[in-house]
Structure formats: C-alpha cells, structure tokens
Structure 1
C-alpha cells in the first residue's frame, strides 16, 4: 500500500492473501482510521461460506466485479451492487466463481 498527498492506493496483486474457507480468498486493500475497510474477495467455482455471514457492527457493501455471486437467496451477475444493512445475514456462495469488492463503512 502506498500513500502520497493524502491518497492511498493498493493493487489486488500486492495485497496479502487470507484463505477464509476452501476456495475463498480475502485480500485487504485499505483500512481507515474509523475502522472502515475495503477488500477483494475471490471465490472459486462451487465455493461456499461455512456458516452464516452476519453483518456486524455495521453494513456490508458488495460490488460483483466478475462472475455470478449468490447470497443464498438469489444470483447477482457482474456489475451488481448489494447493500446489506447491519444485523442482516446471508450465505455467500457461487457456482461459477466470482470476484467481489467489499466495503465495510463501520468496520
């Protein structure tokens, strides 16, 4: 991550990889002073979150960069934006594989 004149930028390729579950990799891109965080989540075909993903303490913002994301209820193709309010939950999964941009404005 590099900082210059108040701007912060990073690349997905340079972000460390954290294996969340088999076939699911999280790459941290940014963390703000107030706890806000931005990530890229890479999901291989036929991968699934183990358990239920509960959004706490705040909401989750999701942008589907590529592939098709399923929240356990419906499919969201590339280009979709999802706002999941604090306290809501879902079971992230994909049959095709997908890449997501995740933003947590409250951490």
Structure 2
C-alpha cells in the first residue's frame, strides 16, 4: 500500500498506485489506507457479470459502501452510481454486478 502522510497526520494515496489484490476472478481490491485501530479504506473493482464467491459477512464492524461507477447489487437490489450503503456489523450480502462497478469501501472498525 502506497500511502503518504504529512506532519499534520493527513494521509493520502492514489488509486492507480495502490497494489491490486484479485479476490476472485474479475474482482479486485485496492487498499488505500489502514488505521491503527484496524479501520481501512479500499477501492473494489468488479468486472461485468461477476459475483462474490460465498457470503460477505461484516465482522467485526460495519461496512460503508459508496458506488463510484456502474451498478452494484447486494443480492437483494441494485444500487446505481452515487448510492451510499451502510451495512451494520453482523449483516451479510453477496456482492455482484451485471454492468461492472467500482466501489469505495470503508471499514471503521476493521
């Protein structure tokens, strides 16, 4: 993870410089920032017609999702670009997309 920090504690990184981890075929995770308490910020890229393998359970804390582009589906409904989703701790879903999508993910508790 390439994250820079200044004297005031501000941290920043560029998506294109973040390492790519392929979680499943056509689904890539790019870490942007990791906090001391386990919090983390990521970009998730999903190609068209991809589906998470298994159930994504939010543990130990919640997941915050912002749909940057495309249409994301959580196994229940579609969320177009510009949508925000709060998934509480203990909830679960099956991330998928028919169009492809890019998501910003934030885990405040790891």
The secondary structure found in structure 2 opposite 1:13 is helix
- Residue 80 of structure 1 corresponds to which residue in structure 2? 83
Q: CA deviation at 1:103?
A: 0.3
Equivalent of 2:14 in 11, 14, 21: 11
Normalised to the residue count of structure 2, the TM-score between the two structures is 0.96
Counterpart of 2:56 in structure 1 is 53
The CA distance in 2 between the partners of 1:7 and 1:86, in whole Å, is 27
Give the structure 1 partner of residue 100 of structure 2: 97
Q: Give the Å deviation of 1:92.
A: 0.1
Q: 2:109 matched to 1:106?
A: yes
Match of 2:36 among 22, 33, 39: 33
Question: Is 1:22 aligned to residue 25 of structure 2?
Answer: yes
Per the TM alignment, residue 63 of structure 1 is displaced from its structure 2 partner at its CA by 0.2
- In the alignment, structure 2 segments of 5+ residues that lack a partner are none
**Equivalent residue, structure 1, for 2:47:** 44
TM-score (norm 1): 0.99
Q: Number of paired residues?
A: 107
Over the residues paired in the alignment, what is the CA RMSD in angstroms? Answer: 0.4
Q: CA deviation at 1:39?
A: 0.2
List gaps (5 residues or longer) in structure 1.
none
